[in-house]
Amino acid sequence: MSAQRALLLVNVKARQGDAAFPQAIDLLRRRGLALIDAPVEGPEAFPAAIRRHAGEADLIILGGGDGTMNLSVEAVLESGRPLGILPVGTASDLARTLGIPAALEEACAVVADGWTRRIDLGRVNGKHFFNVASMGLSVEIARCMTRQAKRRWGILSYCITAAQGYRASRAFRAEIEADGRRERLRSIQLSVGNGRYYGGGMMVAEDAAIDDGLLDLYSLEPGGLARLLALLPAFRAGRHGRLREVHCLRARRINVRTSRPMPINTDGELTTRRRPGSRWCRRRSRSSCRGCAMPPA
């Protein structure tokens, strides 16, 4: 039987990507995968490379963090190939949700062994996301985040930039329609989660799952920075739904309208904006994910 052919793309700009790329090539080849030669200059070229080589590949393997996965998700879906994930980025919350080992050798073994799992994807304004789509404070934190901070501080960079992001953020009003129910609220941060983890290990909800066909929304009331920092332990444990400052709901389809146009963060990247009738809707992926592999729709 011929070896499986895999398209391997690693974001060498990711925190561990530069060192991980040659190591991943060696580990995957030793486990019997035939790797397609597809040199690219940076993660921005990943979608084009996936579309160009999808017909030659049995699976696509991406190395990087959540931003790398988000950048490539549409191309992976179009390819119809399983996705293998090597978590060499700063946060890698998708890998954490799927239980993919952080150690590169173990992650390569999971991909090469062909373990697959079907998962859901979220979609906002036509843009797919794995973990979460959000507006408000998280957008300002993403704007303040630098590649240098990620490389130097890793997960701690999210906490370090939180104060900067808070100073730049403004409260907003939102009208939410979730599976036919309508609510109005005032918020400083509104997130809609598809998976379990986001933001460097924060939980969308205690019992959130990436294959339950549901979206989990939470909205945080405006308040001081000291109060916000005091809430962080509850967010890391997924218990923020018990707090009076946080409003939560769960639905299959969610529409969000805000008092002003707002940028939207998907999986840590600023990718779209709130426009009239902006919608988060969950749909079931139909392709598969390896050890990390993931299915396209």
* Residues taking part in catalysis: 269
213 phi, psi to nearest 5 deg: 75, 15
Where does 80-136 have alpha helices with state H? 93-98, 104-112
Question: How far apart are the C-alpha atoms of 116 and 292, rounded to whole Å?
Answer: 7
Question: How far apart are the C-alpha atoms of 110 and 35, rounded to whole Å?
Answer: 16
Question: For residue 226, with 0-12 CB atoms within 10 Å meaning exposed, 13-18 middle and 19 or more buried, which class applies?
Answer: exposed
Question: How far apart are the C-alpha atoms of 167 and 165, rounded to whole Å?
Answer: 5
Quick count: other Cβ atoms within 10 Å of Cβ 236? 15
Where does the chain have alpha helices with state H? 17-30, 46-53, 66-79, 93-98, 104-112, 137-144, 147-153, 156-168, 225-237
* Torsion sign across C-alpha atoms 33, 37, 41, 47: negative
Tokens of 223: 């308040």
∠ CA(183), CA(187), CA(193), 5° rounding? 75
Question: How far apart are the C-alpha atoms of 106 and 215, rounded to whole Å?
Answer: 30
Q: Which of 215, 212, 211 is nearest to 289 (CA)?
A: 211
Question: How far apart are the C-alpha atoms of 23 and 145, rounded to whole Å?
Answer: 28
